[in-house]
Amino acid sequence: MQPLRKGRLVARVAQEAQDVRRAQALRQLCFRGADVPGLDIDRHDADCLHVLVEDTETGALVCCYRLLPLTGGAEIGRSYSAQFYDLRPLHSFPGPMVEMGRFCIAPSHRDPDILRLAWGAMTRIVDAMGAELLFGCASFIGTDADRHAEAFTLLRAGHLAPRRWLPRVKAPRVFRFAKALAGREPDRKRGMLTMPPLLRTYLSMGGWVSDHAVVDDQLGTLHVFTGVEIRAIPEARARALRMVAGPEPGAA
């Protein structure tokens, strides 16, 4: 992918080891806090494309994420998500897929164009790969499920995965919100206000989630498996994403 620019921001794919280390440092800050120095590293980094969003005036890295391309459902066991979810139902998914992970924005940067440019770059890459499913883990801060009851109620009521793709339980500690909150009526406004921003974006694209959340004590979060079938993205939303992405330079 050629760099994608908007104002003083530029999104690009990491080209060298130092780029990846900068992303790992930002991830460490966002996921573990300023009091825990070091780099956020795991075995999946080597297999992924790393996307950086930078401020060209200051040189600061303001956002990053990584993408793992897979040829189809038969390869989904290679994904980060497969550590936490039984993804056998997705083994039969017929098309190419991309796992998006480690998405974070620097705490000191709140420009909404950062998120827009990040998704524009992702759209350009996903389109270039011909991916038919974008998936990953979307996290809630903290491990207290009651704190997020409104959001989980909304997910249960209208955003569960189709039964044929629904991930099964694998992790030792989970919150089975679809069962625990059965019969509770959702408050859509409150549910969306308390929804994590990344997950809210997934849902705006027609995304769906697992029926349970994994308790991740290492990062101090609850997360749900999230999938977006590219062909099912609402037309208006797809058009808006591709307007930000623009044509790849040199494309016919």
pTM of the complete model: 0.93
pLDDT for 246 = 83
Give 10-residue mean pLDDT values along the chain (252 residues).
93 97 97 91 96 96 98 96 98 96 92 92 94 97 96 97 97 97 94 93 96 95 97 93 80 50
The domain at 4-245 falls in which architecture?
3-Layer(aba) Sandwich (3.40)
pLDDT for 252 = 46
pLDDT for 251 = 54
Three-state helix/strand/coil letters over the chain: CCCEEECCEEEEECCCHHHHHHHHHHHHHHHHCCCCCCCCCCCCHHHCEEEEEEECCCCCEEEEEEEEEECCHHHHHHCCHHHCEECHHHHHCCCCEEEEEEEEECCCCCCHHHHHHHHHHHHHHHHHHCCCEEEEEEEEECCCHHHHHHHHHHHHHHCECCCCCCCEECCCCEECHHHHCCCCCCCHHHHHHCCCHHHHHHHHCCCEECCCEEEECCCCEEEEEEEEEHHHCCHHHHHHHHHHHCCCCCCC
